[in-house]
Amino acid sequence: MATTRQAARPRPAGPTRENDVRVELRGLEPVPGPERYGRPSRIFTMWLSPQFTPSALFIGVLAASLGLSFWQGLPAIVIGNIIGALVVAALCTWGPRTGMGQMPLSRAAFGKSNVLPGVVNWASTIGWIAFNNVFGATALKLLIHAPYWLGLLLIFAGEAVISVLGHEVIHMFEKWMSWVLGIIFVIITIRVITSGGTTTLHATAHGADAIGLFFLMLVIAGSDGYAWAPYAADYSRYFPASVSRRKIFWYTFAAVAGGLTWMMLLGLSVAHRVVSAGTIGTASAIRDLMGGGALGVLAMIAIYLATVAADVVNDYTGSLSLQAAGITVRRPAIALVNGAAAFGFSAWFLYAPGALYDKVENLLLFFTYWISAWLGVVVVDWVRRRGRVDVGELRDFAKLRWSAPALIAFVAGFAASIPFSNTTAGYDFVASHPAFKDVVGYFAFGPLHQADLGFIVAFAVAALLYLALQRRPATPIPEPPR
């Protein structure tokens, strides 16, 4: 008797429900409607756990290195994190509307020119992994006396497994880390309040310089959350198009702003312990605050887990960013390459000459400049399209056009930020190349008394220039069904 064979359904390239732990093979491709899932509350724990990092705590310490008092640093941290979180929360709502990640989605504005911001964001994710690894490696050194290189390998091992598995496993891991790390940092906070912290940090800058440094600290604090902007839609793209965008926005905002403000204020309150302790200072300060013993061991394990929790997000987004730049390599393979590349950058943070404070400050401020220029382009493009993008046209890099308006606006926006930038790298460059004193940091080192307005200038110049140069009509496609 003849039988008919039913055609096998193609296996989904990614998870299709919560707790689906299959390896995600999907890269930058949009998530089809039937494969979307998830409750909006999941985005809260997804974004909360990566903020519980010693690197965020260390950023709070930077207020002391700038010469600000506790009461000057506090509002700078709060305001900066509110601004940064608002941007991330707004971009996170683009994921459910399009089913695409953030840098892949910027192909709508940049076309083939997306190769530049895609590669820059990939390099930025490597920088973030390396920065976070400093604290994870020092915690393992204190815990098991492992040399830094071995600590980095142990971090890479934990990060690589989760990042390769992909989107759903990352959401699951961050959910559990939100609870584990949240409880540990509650204990640390209680210890800080009862014994280790202080609000008596004294200012060494006064007058106009104090105001300028306040704004510099505001930008540095905000840059941590703001740097999540090119990641935002990556972790909301699996939500159904019908999900409440308002809930996505406010859950994301609460997680990013709340988590970072908490960590940075902890750092600010123990800055007197960390500033003089060198690279290992943050981890040793946390261990000492826990009183050593079993709690100190628990704190070092928490720092390791916190490092992995932040790094998997950077690793995953880095792989999507490289694909968005036109690199046709499978996402899991890129994720492994990212971790290996970060190993070398971590060694630079740990061993290269120069203070960690200066390295971190330069890195954070660089992120704000290029992200602002990129943001100016993609926001204008999004508004022109009324938030409706034909994602099918963005999948094939070969079929995209080069976008001179986007590329010119992006580069010009970044360049325009340079006279308003305040980085130690820029200061040292001008000191050794006086001919550039009217270009690099001219306003920040002069009339602005060290205030850094580079990110505002970068956004404004890029947005206005793209709006003026982009003449191609942006016809919105119909709104997807909700």
Q: Specify the residue for token string 């207020």.
A: 63
Does the pLDDT value for residue 390 go beyond 50?
yes
27 in a domain, yes or no?
A: no
With H, G, I as helix, E, B as strand and everything else as coil, classify residue 439. Answer: coil
Number of structural domains (the chain) is: 1
With H, G, I as helix, E, B as strand and everything else as coil, classify residue 149. Answer: helix
Give the pLDDT of residue 191.
Answer: 84
Distance CA 334, CA 315 (A): 9
23 in a domain, yes or no?
A: no
Interval 394-412 mean pLDDT: 93
Give the pLDDT of residue 355.
Answer: 63
Q: The CATH number of the domain where 55 resides is what?
A: 1.10.4160.10
Does the pLDDT value for residue 277 go beyond 80?
no
Q: What's the pLDDT tens digit per position in 105-149?
A: 999 999 999 999 999 999 999 988 888 888 888 888 888 888 888
Distance CA 206, CA 98 (A): 49
153 in a domain, yes or no?
A: yes
Distance CA 227, CA 125 (A): 9
11 in a domain, yes or no?
A: no
Distance CA 355, CA 127 (A): 16
CA distances from 351 to 110, 139, 178, 451 (A): 38, 16, 31, 30
Residue-wise DSSP of 65-100: HHT--HHHHHHHHHHHHHHHHHHHHHHHTHHHHHS-
Interval 88-106 mean pLDDT: 96
Interval 190-204 mean pLDDT: 79
Give the pLDDT of residue 354.
Answer: 63
Interval 16-25 mean pLDDT: 90
Does the pLDDT value for residue 177 go beyond 90?
yes
13 in a domain, yes or no?
A: no
203 in a domain, yes or no?
A: yes
CB 128 within 8 A of CB 314: yes
CA distances from 208 to 211, 213, 336, 446, 453 (A): 5, 9, 48, 11, 15
pLDDT band, very low/low/confident/very high, at 239 (cuts 50, 70, 90): very high
258-272 burial, b for 16+ CB within 10 Å, e for fewer? bbbbbbbbbbbbbbb
Torsion sign over Cα 52, 55, 58, 62: negative
Distance CA 373, CA 455 (A): 8
CB 192 within 8 A of CB 270: yes
Radius of gyration for the alpha carbons in the chain, expressed in angstroms and rounded:
22
142 in a domain, yes or no?
A: yes
Q: What's the pLDDT tens digit per position in 44-80?
A: 999 999 999 888 988 898 888 888 999 999 999 999 9
pLDDT band, very low/low/confident/very high, at 289 (cuts 50, 70, 90): confident
Return the number of other C-beta atoms located less than 10 Å from residue 6's C-beta.
6
88-106 burial, b for 16+ CB within 10 Å, e for fewer? bbbbbbbbbbbbbbbbbbb
Domain that holds residue 362: 34-469
Give the pLDDT of residue 292.
Answer: 72
Task: Give the lowest-confidence range in 103-112, 118-127, 440-449, 468-477.
Answer: 468-477
Give the pLDDT of residue 37.
Answer: 95
Give the pLDDT of residue 6.
Answer: 47
Residue 7 is given by DSSP the state P
Q: Output the pTM of the full model.
A: 0.91
Give the pLDDT of residue 4.
Answer: 45
Give the pLDDT of residue 431.
Answer: 81
pLDDT above 70: percentage of residues in the chain = 92
Interval 259-286 mean pLDDT: 79
Dihedral angle, C-alpha 297, 300, 306, 311, nearest 10 °: -130
Q: Which residue type does 76 have?
A: A
Mean residue pLDDT of the chain comes to: 87
22 in a domain, yes or no?
A: no
Q: What's the pLDDT tens digit per position in 291-340?
A: 778 888 888 888 899 999 999 999 999 989 999 999 887 777 777 777 77
Distance CA 262, CA 192 (A): 12
Task: Give the lowest-confidence range in 204-218, 281-295, 435-449.
Answer: 281-295
pLDDT above 90: percentage of residues in the chain = 49
* 310 CB burial (10 A radius; 0-12, 13-18, 19+): buried
Does the pLDDT value for residue 445 go beyond 80?
yes
Give the pLDDT of residue 87.
Answer: 97
